[in-house]
Amino acid sequence: MDFSKFEETAGVKFKDERLLKQAFTHRSYINENRDSGLEHNERLEFLGDAVLELVITDYLYGRMRESAEGEMTALRSALVNADTCARVATALGANEFLLLSKGEAKDTGRARQYILANTLEAVIGAIYLDQNYEVAKNFILMHVAPLMEEIIREGTWIDAKSFFQEKAQELKGFTPVYKTIRESGPDHDKHFIVSVSVGNEVYGEGEGKSKQDAEQKAARDALEKNGWK
């Protein structure tokens, strides 16, 4: 597989392209191609996730000098979550290079978004190992950090759970209750679907890689459905 197009878009030239290929290799591909000699990308994803969070934390600490810890935490979460990572991966053309099982390759819905998000983290991990921290940092600042202004403008970084609780208590007299509807996936790649109710009525649902992420999305869904801006 020729990764030159991806490298050009990403702005990084790999010394060891085996690392980049590993970053695009999903566990499902290995399960169907056990003699491929390839490794899946989960260890790289683990490493890249930590590098991404550190770079964005440092970036926000320097940029948001008047902001409190809670505000920076909420904005960091919006910049490193699965939706943002999948969006960046898509913009980089990552879909063209994914190595997936035949079944996973057919699914282009929400599951693919999670795969793309994990792949971006794996690519960051691969850059860190192949080059160094500064190159990985520059990649993140070039492709992820610029989304901050848009995220602030759209308000997607705001703590939706806290805001929804305030509105529910003020307007309905109840504290929202969150319930996990479904939990799926292996331990390394969990997906949660959560509902939020006020009184006996379900107000919204959300899906995420963690219960916290799914709850935030459920709260945001409830806010949008009720026009509680």
* Catalytic residue flag (residue 49): yes
Residue 206: strand pairing partners: 194
Distances (CA, A) of 4 to 7, 97, 138, 203: 5, 11, 19, 47
Q: How far apart, in whole angstroms, are the C-alpha atoms of residue 1 and residue 7?
A: 12
Distance of CA 155 to the CA centre of its chain: 17
Q: CA torsion 78→118→116→222, rounded to 10°?
A: -40
Calculate the alpha carbon distances from 109 to 86, 94, 106, 116, 199 in Å: 12, 15, 9, 11, 32
Instruction: State the catalytic residue, choosing from 42, 45, 49, 215.
Output: 49
Q: Known catalytic residue: 121?
A: yes
Which residue among 45, 121, 130, 221 is the active-site one?
121
Q: Which residues are catalytic?
A: 49, 121
